[in-house]
Amino acid sequence: MNSPLQTPKGTHDLLPEDFRYLDFVQKTVEKRLKDFGFGRISTPVFEFKDLFVRTSGETADIVEKELYAFASASGKEYALKPEGTAGVVRAYIQHGMHCLPQPVMLYYLEPHFRHDRPQAGRFRQFYQFGFEIIGESDPALDAQAIALAHGIHEDLGIASRLSLQINSLGCAECRTKFSAALQEFYFDKKRSLCETCQTRLEKNPLRLLDCKEEDCHLLASLAPKLSEFICPDCHTHQAQVEEFLDELGISFQKNPTLVRGLDYYTRTVFEFWDEKEGAQNAVGGGGRYDNLIKKLGGPETPALGYAGGIERIISHIKSAQVSLPAENAPQIFLAALGQTAKVYGLKLLEELREAGMRAVGVLGKSSVKAQLKLADRYQTPFTLILGQIELNNDSIIIRNMKKGSQESVRLKEVVKVMKKKLKQ
Ligand code: HAM
């Protein structure tokens, strides 16, 4: 039943515990990307619907079945963004970025929306990080993009759980010849195809190879192979990408059936799959899209990119039991007992924070027991206890929570003493 007090199907709240993971992923991703020279971009959550139709292609699932489209009161058609490449490419053209030194390297980390059937690892609102390298056709860039994604997985502690699949989809010429061969092959088999594939045959025959229906899948295994139609230039490009990957020590599987679900790809495509589950729930995917910018009305500009699904990455981080850095956890809990101690405590908390320590306390509970219970919850290595007796003596108690030992120090010394203790 739909209840306004529940998140809509396929969406979820991100609670502080979730942000421990999200922050870890974000920091790790941004460190790699910034070291590489990428700049951050954010495009609107919604754009004109036509942008997504023209970018991904009308037969792409994310357009045909999964677009959250809506019309404004004046009848303009918009859609929530199902992926990041369309918006980034639109921004590249809109802001005349072809005049900047090429390649232009942009990254994003944002929620995206697909009206997919929710299941494990498949949501209607999900986070993606992605990067686009626009303005360069050299295969060294393809290898570097793949190495970058692999490096991010290594930093996140999940690289060994993933297998890299790569393929070449060739250029427009290879694809035209291949599409014609497919249409010929399927000419007298059309009735054995599912309804969707019958439409695909006319609009985008390549997508027939991607269908999971049993009959379509069987026919696809007998159909001509794209690799037979790859022209010498595309072949050389792919061979160089593979050579660079070998040099970089990145292992991969050549997968001639990898076509990706979006129409804009040319030449290199790649995905990172779960070692065990395979194609289901890929952690990320990307590839070259050398014709897209021209197709959308910009100058002829080669480009490539990648996007990773953050929920799926986090699920791997959890399964691999990667320990997260605890760098933001509070270090000191201050238990202040009584009104005067609270007033003094607030000042002391500020002094501790200004001296660079992470301190919490004076949280309203009055009894010692309740305050120490709170200190336990924060798992701070130290608790400071300030009551009337301590105030009368101009002192404060420092309790070492791990050792269970405690000592009394002079109030005006406590910031200095704590700084020293935390350094140790
Ligand atoms: P994509 O393969 O459609 O590529 O999505 C990339 C990743 O986003 C997937 O591998 C998956 O991890 C995650 N993802 C996709 N849909 C969902 C969902 N419903 N729930 C959870 N996670 C999901 C793209 O989006 C391209 N724009 C990538 C790209 C960038 N190609 C070139 N540049």
Question: What average pLDDT score do residues 112-123 get?
Answer: 93
User: pLDDT higher for 35 or 206?
Assistant: 35
**pLDDT tens column, 154-193:** 999 999 999 999 999 999 999 999 989 999 999 999 899 9
Q: Which atom of ligand 1 is nearest to the CA of 124?
A: 19
pLDDT of residue 200: 84
Per-residue pLDDT at 349? 96
Give me ligand 1 centre to Cα 156, in Å.
18
* pLDDT at site 301: 98
Q: Is the pLDDT of residue 327 over 70?
A: no
* 318 Cα: distance to centroid of ligand 1 (angstroms): 20
pLDDT number for residue 3: 84
DSSP 8-state code for residue 84: S
User: Ligand 1: which of 43, 83, 129 to mutate, judged by most atoms within 8 Å of the beta carbon?
Assistant: 83
Lowest mean pLDDT among 4-13, 55-64, 105-114, 305-314: 55-64
Structure confidence at residue 40 (pLDDT): 98
CB burial of residue 301 (10 Å; 0-12, 13-18, 19+): buried
Nearest CA to ligand 1 atom 1: 285
In the predicted structure, residue 375 carries a pLDDT above the cut 80: yes
Full 3-state SS string of 351-420: HHHHCCCCEEECCCCCCHHHHHHHHHHHCCCEEEEECHHHHHCCEEEEEECCCCEEEEEEHHHHHHHHHH
- Structure tokens, 408: 């009394």
Please enumerate in sequence order all residues whose Cβ is within 8 A of that of 364, keeping only pairs 6 or more positions apart, or say none. Answer: none
Backbone φ, ψ for residue 120 (5° rounding): -55, 125
CA-to-CA distance for 349 and 94, rounded, in angstroms?
Answer: 49
pLDDT, tens digit (0-9, with 9 covering 90-100), for 23-70:
999 999 999 999 999 999 999 999 999 999 999 988 788 888 899 999
Closest C-alpha to ligand 1, atom 11:
309
Burial 244-280, CB ≥16 within 10 A → b, else e: bbeeeebebeebeebbbbbbbbbbbbbbbbbeeeeee
Residue 278 confidence (pLDDT) above 80: no
Q: Separation of 319 CA from ligand 1 center, angstroms?
A: 21
Please, what's the b/e burial string for 356-370 (b: 16 or more CB within 10 A of its CB; e: otherwise)? ebebbbbeeeeeeee
| pLDDT score for 1 | 63
Contact 119, 9 (CB under 8 A): no
Tokens of 177: 């010849």
Pocket of ligand 1 (CB under 6 A): 83-85, 114, 116, 121-123, 126, 128, 130, 132, 282-287, 305-309, 311-312
Q: What is the CA angle 385-387-388, rounded to 5?
A: 160
279 has a pLDDT exceeding 80: no
Burial of 194 (0-12, 13-18, 19+ CB in 10 A): middle
